[in-house]
Amino acid sequence: MDVFEAISGRHSYRGEFIDQPVPRSDLEKIVQAGIQAPSGCNAQTTTFVIVDDPVVLAKMADLVPRPIMRAARAVITCIAEHRPVYKGKSFGIEDCAAATENILLAITALGYATVWIDGVLREGDRARQVAELLGVPADREVRIVLPVGLPKEHCKQREKQQFSERSWFNRYGAGKDREML
């Protein structure tokens, strides 16, 4: 599958997974795609904990109350480090998002499915609880979890707005017939 096929095929999957483990070799390929992502000043502030132990998966599902977490055959946890890397600025969130997008595309390319989960981690104390479960250092933030597995159902990417509705050349909102300044 080429990158454009992976981009058009990537979707948020919230269904059931086939009861089959995800081989570690595939999980390593998937996370390597995240490691290859760009990062601010090449600081490489995103790290990962890959969970495939059924006991730990069950504990994570207790902490992250989403049905797909119970069905997951593995979970990739994306961890942000918020240290300043350029003029006192941290790019931990941006770095984590770039790594996650690469991971989403790799998951799709290998025939697996997932959904990006982060909002629920910011409710209450969930991110810290997941961090404690996984032994994440206190100066790092569990930012995103990605439940992974082989999907039971075939889903398609939701319809996206047309190029002309979300992008323009040279000036925001510029139409084809609008003269440029």
Residues 6+ apart with CB under 8 A from 75: 50, 51, 57, 60, 69, 145, 146, 147, 148
Taking phi over 0 as left and psi of -120 to 50 as alpha, with beta for the rest, 77 belongs to: beta
Confidence at residue 81, expressed as pLDDT on a 0 to 100 scale: 95
Q: Which residue has the tokens 């909002």?
A: 119
Helices in the chain by DSSP H: which ranges? Answer: 3-9, 24-35, 54-63, 67-71, 92-109, 126-134, 163-166
Taking phi over 0 as left and psi of -120 to 50 as alpha, with beta for the rest, 88 belongs to: left
Parallel, antiparallel, or unpaired for β 46-51 and 140-148? unpaired
What is the third-level CATH fold of 3-152? NADH Oxidase (3.40.109)
Confidence at residue 166, expressed as pLDDT on a 0 to 100 scale: 80
Taking phi over 0 as left and psi of -120 to 50 as alpha, with beta for the rest, 111 belongs to: left
Q: Cα(66)–Cα(14) distance, rounded to whole angstroms?
A: 9
Confidence at residue 7, expressed as pLDDT on a 0 to 100 scale: 76
Q: Along the chain (181 residues), what's the average pLDDT of each consecutive run of 10 residues?
A: 80 85 98 96 95 97 95 97 94 96 96 94 95 97 96 74 82 68 48
Confidence at residue 96, expressed as pLDDT on a 0 to 100 scale: 96
Confidence at residue 73, expressed as pLDDT on a 0 to 100 scale: 94
